[in-house]
Amino acid sequence: MDKIRIVGGNPLNGIIPISGAKNAALPLMIASLLTDETLTLENVPRLADVRQLTNILVNHGVDYGVNGKRQGEGLLTGQTVSLTARSITDTTAPYELVSTMRASFWVIGPLLARMHAARVSLPGGCAIGTRPVDLFLMGLEKLGANIDVEGGYVVAKAPGGLVGNRVVFPKVSVGATHVIMMAATLAKGETVIENAAREPEVVDLARCLSAMGARITGAGTSTIVIEGVDRLRGARHRVVADRIETGTYAMAVAMTGGDVLLEGAEASLLEAPIEVLRQVGTEIDETNSGLRVRRNGAGIVAADIVTDPFPGFPTDLQAQFMALMTRARGTARITETIFENRFMHVAELARFGAHISLEGQVATVEGVERLKGAPVMATDLRASVSLVIAGLAAEGETVINRVYHLDRGFERLEDKIGRCGAVIERISG
């Protein structure tokens, strides 16, 4: 099992290209099930989750191809892939494939919409809370699906096809918004999703579906309206920049000091984190090429955050911000409102010498003058990269174990920050 070794203390200086968003690429790939024509996606990140979803789509009969390199395309800049679901050969998504990645459950929407039947294993993924699928199933039932749970599988049928309806989510869910929006594109009549997720990845999916012939309005607001069509066509679409990767590297620069251009980053995708980073003492400027992030030798000051659905502070940046606050002047309060079990990184950050106390869903971080390198264990995707951020600033050597979590969401991380002066290497095991 691979490990990552870091020797801390170096500022970051240079250029880090920002990959396409994993959280956008996955639903976009799943959308290929809605048409018998080819969907071509540019700027797809090279990630373990993308490879796993590819296996799932191939199981359903999707032809998958990676195109030859386009101008400017390299190992750090994403890839172009083509997906063709000319005929869906299997409407079952088996446990051995779905159990490793939660987002793979989302195939239930397109399969039900196009084939009027789906049998999908209940999902797996990071252990950061229960994240039940009740909202998905409620939404699909509103569209006329008959749903049973049998032997760990959701069995969904809509013999006459899905029918548009009003779907009101009791709480915001990005995944459920993705699934119902995809399913509704081929439903008969109009579907209105209320209390929909407003995340940029939802907007990106809506843009792609619209290019495929879907009729969607309101994406990016809390009310999305979809007028169903008989069929969707193929399209070409570029995956939006990864706002979580952008925020992660911005926090790494804030932690270590230095001057880095986050190439391809879009400020509009993460206004709340940028505001907080400026508040703690980081300079962030928009340029024609992306975002320039700088921190001089003055250090950073503590700030409080509360995670919230977009446009609030993303839960996927909470662990990284906590790592940053371990070296801040003062005390920071971090309140997690999205997932009930997303503080597993606290114990690992304490191994660096961080002072963090927990009370319910609130973590209080008292900044310390220095961190010391240590052997640590990644517990989930975002927690793993928080350990990288701490290791970059810690004195001495840090070894991060179980980095397969990291590979699920960060494309060639050690190469990207290594080119900017970090002493970091992957140790194959």
Four-point Cα dihedral 401, 406, 412, 414, nearest 10: -40
Q: Which residues are annotated as a binding site for phosphoenolpyruvate?
A: 22-23
328 SS3 class: coil
Spatial separation of the C-alpha atoms in residues 136 and 363, rounded to whole Å:
31
Which of 391, 365, 364 has its CA nearest to residue 376? 391
Is the Cβ–Cβ distance between 223 and 193 less than 8 Å?
yes
Q: Cβ atoms within 10 A of the Cβ of 152, count?
A: 10
DSSP string of 98-123, one letter each residue: HTT-GGGGGGHHHHHHHHSEEEEEPP
Spatial separation of the C-alpha atoms in residues 111 and 88, rounded to whole Å:
9
Spatial separation of the C-alpha atoms in residues 206 and 186, rounded to whole Å:
14
Active site residue 126: yes
Structure tokens at 90: 């299997």
Catalytic site residue from 41, 101, 126, 197: 126
Q: Which residues are annotated as a binding site?
A: 22-23, 102, 131-135, 171-174, 316, 338
Taking each helix axis from N to C terminus, what angle separates 134-142 and 108-115, rounded to the nearest 10 degrees? Answer: 20
Is the Cβ–Cβ distance between 323 and 317 less than 8 Å?
no
Instruction: Please enumerate in sequence order all residues whose Cβ is within 8 A of that of 155, keeping only pairs 6 or more positions apart, or say none.
Output: 118, 119, 147, 148, 149
Q: Which residues are annotated as a binding site for UDP-N-acetyl-alpha-D-glucosamine?
A: 102, 131-135, 171-174, 316, 338
Q: Phi, psi at residue 115, to the nearest 5°?
A: -105, -10
Spatial separation of the C-alpha atoms in residues 23 and 408, rounded to whole Å:
11
Spatial separation of the C-alpha atoms in residues 403 and 400, rounded to whole Å:
7
Spatial separation of the C-alpha atoms in residues 115 and 308, rounded to whole Å:
36
Cis before residue 123, ω within 30 degrees of 0?
A: no
Spatial separation of the C-alpha atoms in residues 379 and 377, rounded to whole Å:
6
Active site residues: 126
